[in-house]
Amino acid sequence: MASKARQTVRGTMKVGNSTFVWGSRTYVMGILNVTPDSFSGDGTGADVQAAVRQAVTFQEQGADIIDVGGESTRPPAVYAGARPVTADEELARVLPVIKALKSAVTLPISIDTYKAAVARAAVDAGASLINDVWGLRRDPGMARVAAELHVPAVLMHNQDGTSYRDLVPDIIARLGELAAEAERAGIAPDRIIVDPGFGFGKNTGQNLEMLRRLGELRALGKPLLVGMSRKSTIGQVLDLPVHERVEGTAATVALSIAAGADIVRVHDVKEMVRVARMTDAVARGWRPAHAN
């Protein structure tokens, strides 16, 4: 695994008040759904204090980022779809939480949205990263918002349907196109993170192949975010409901890190921080301060 570590992207990225040093260790993004219809059943809905408590717990458990989402984006092919929400409804969910989190946690806050108006208002309220499941393409104003506000952006691969000419090369090519478009819009190259989009426009077999070949995405030269936490592929492989997918998630986290993932997006922060640190110790030579 040592050779894998040498392939890791190097450099730094400023996210809020934090500086991420790529290649030093894996960063853990805690998922904070402020929706009533999250596929994982952990949405806090309109309860701002419940969201704050969850974020504080995530921070205590070792998370590096809090990813706030106000609209469920579960794919219709798996979960019968999610109800679309307007920008106003999404803002009503996420803004009170982001504002409350600014004084409750010291971690950078990410806004999980594909709407430019939501992204702009969220960053104004205190978010410092945009996480867009449509790679800044669904809303034509999104790339401009990220560029104008000088915040990093996660570009996720997503498509309608699961048809590919050649799965992994197609995904790499598309992510490369998205990154190039983001740069043309004015987003600095070192503020772009890529995400292969597990579960979005991919069936179970394709998700497993993508995970198996994840290291090939290093060719893009961008930090890599992976989000397979509790997803249906794990449930289908293990024949388990959402609340029993911790071990399956742990396996995908460890494999992702060994392949070079820089950020893992997870629901079960305490457990996955431990998995990440142990995997980092093997794959990247990371050591805690107290270790010999």
Q: What is the DSSP string of 197-216?
A: -TTSS--HHHHHHHHHTGGG
DSSP state of 66: E
Q: How far apart are CA 171 and CA 212, in angstroms?
A: 14
Q: How far apart are CA 235 and CA 199, in angstroms?
A: 12
Q: How far apart are CA 283 and CA 292, in angstroms?
A: 17
DSSP state of 223: -
User: Please, what sign has the CA dihedral across residues 108, 109, 114, 117?
Assistant: negative
Listed residue (212, 249, 256) closest to 233, CA to CA:
249
Which listed residue (231, 277, 284, 287) is catalytic? Answer: 231
Place of tokens 């070192």: 190
Mark whether 265 is an active-site residue.
Answer: yes
Is residue 202 within 8 A of residue 162, CB to CB? The reply is yes
Which listed residue (74, 222, 230, 265) is catalytic? Answer: 265
Residues annotated catalytic, as ranges: 231, 265
